[in-house]
Chains A and B, each alone.
Chain A
Amino acid sequence: MEPACRKDKPKLNSTPTRGDRARQKSAQQEHKQRQRAEIYALNKVMTELEQQQFESFCKQMQSQGE
């Protein structure tokens, strides 16, 4: 290839920069933190549900026993 052509050929830059990688990592970390917060909020609700169901079943069994 002629040197002049090489200069005109557009330079492809598909390699993410260090800054891009850092931003990506930070975004991923935030995403994980949000997921974790939602999981624990959900787990609190589902734990309470399970406890309520267990208690009502125990009462049911108790009243049947009587």
Chain B
Amino acid sequence: MTGPTSPSRTGTSSAKLSRHGRSKSTSAHCLLRCAAREESAASSPNNGARSPGEEEEKDGGVLFYVNRTGFPIEGVTWERMWSHVAVVHPEGQEMADRIRNAAYLPKHHVPSVPTFKPSMSVPDWLVSIQNYMKALQYNHTGTQFFEVKKSRPLSGLMETAREMIRESLPIKCLEAVILGIYLTNGLTSLERFPISFKTQFSGHCFHHVVLGVYCNGRYGSLGMSRRPDLMDKPLAHRTLGELVAEFESSYKRYQHTLKKVKIGLYVPHDPHVFQPIEWKHLVLNAARLGAQEMRKELEKHGRDMRMKVVCVCVCVCSSKKGQGQHEVSRYYRSHPLSSQV
């Protein structure tokens, strides 16, 4: 998650500030920095057409950059990363120069890719995967190193996951979801599905996404976040409602109000599938639904996913508002679920 964390710096040119469009709010806004940009970046139709200087995406009002040109990172993107951190960090250019001009920098250990052994339990495997992602670290640089377009076919996103493993660099929440899918492919007793959150804090909206997992009657999650209680959850929750409530409770600790929850469909285990991931099969407006209704809808969705509901398109309108706004939007389509529950 990301948000306006950057402290104000004296002496920063206004031209630079306006170009970056960066919020210089105080740390009052920096409880969580979430990845609104992951949704907006992936779905924006203009991403590919932007010039390097215009590749900023918005993230809770704060711009961030995306490396779209592979590795090694090319000059413009590289310099932009350093320019950004020089603006954000209190020590500014001095900090940047200290690192860039260092004759020697320690070589960060390349974590070993977890390999599944038949003797491993599913929970142990998930811990192994989560530890791998933690070893990559959460990316605080302000530049996302791997481009993730949510509308891409699954096969293309799996190629990006392989690149993440190959390059072994810090990642953010959306990248962690893709990597989590890749590393759990083939474990057919485990179902994976995206869970997206939209929260509000102090008038700003924040977005975050984790990979929900389901196995043998229990729900959990994998993911990466700035906050440790907004990423992985053990396979211990009896219902999807319980899992989401756990996240809501974690958000409350940071004074974030949950506004929307979007639950996707199970992701196929075949990494060569051409269809895209279904990110928002169920959209719940938490602001309008009570806690009980939310749980009910989530539990129904969980049952439906397990029952492999086919080809029904339903849209439920709120009777209270009478304005045609939706509390719950649910789209069911045929989904080639590969595993048995």
Contact = CB atoms under 8 A, between A and B. Distances in A.
Which among A35, A37, A39, A46 has the greatest number of chain B C-beta atoms within 10 A?
Answer: A39
Interface string A38-60: 11111101110110011011001
B102 A39 contact: no
A40 B28 contact: no
A33 interface: yes
B139 A43 contact: yes
Interface string B7-38: 10000000000000000000110110100000
A28 B99 CA distance: 20
Contacts of A61: 255
B85 A39 contact: no
Contact of B85 (A32, A34, A46, A57): A46
A45 to B, nearest CB: 6
A35 B27 CA distance: 29
Contacts of B85: 42, 45-46
A32 B96 CA distance: 18
B107 interface: yes
Contacts of B89: 45-46, 49
Contacts of B5: 50, 53
Contact of A40 (B95, B100, B170): B170
A53 B30 contact: yes
B202 to A, nearest CB: 11
Nearest to A40: B108
Interface string B89-127: 110000110011010011110000000000000000000
B138 A47 contact: yes
Interface of B: 5, 7, 27-28, 30-31, 33, 71-73, 78, 81, 85, 88-90, 95-96, 99-100, 102, 105-108, 137-142, 145, 167-170, 226, 255
Interface of A: 28, 31-43, 45-47, 49-50, 53-54, 56-57, 60-61
5 contacts: A33-B107, A34-B105, A43-B137, A45-B85, A57-B30
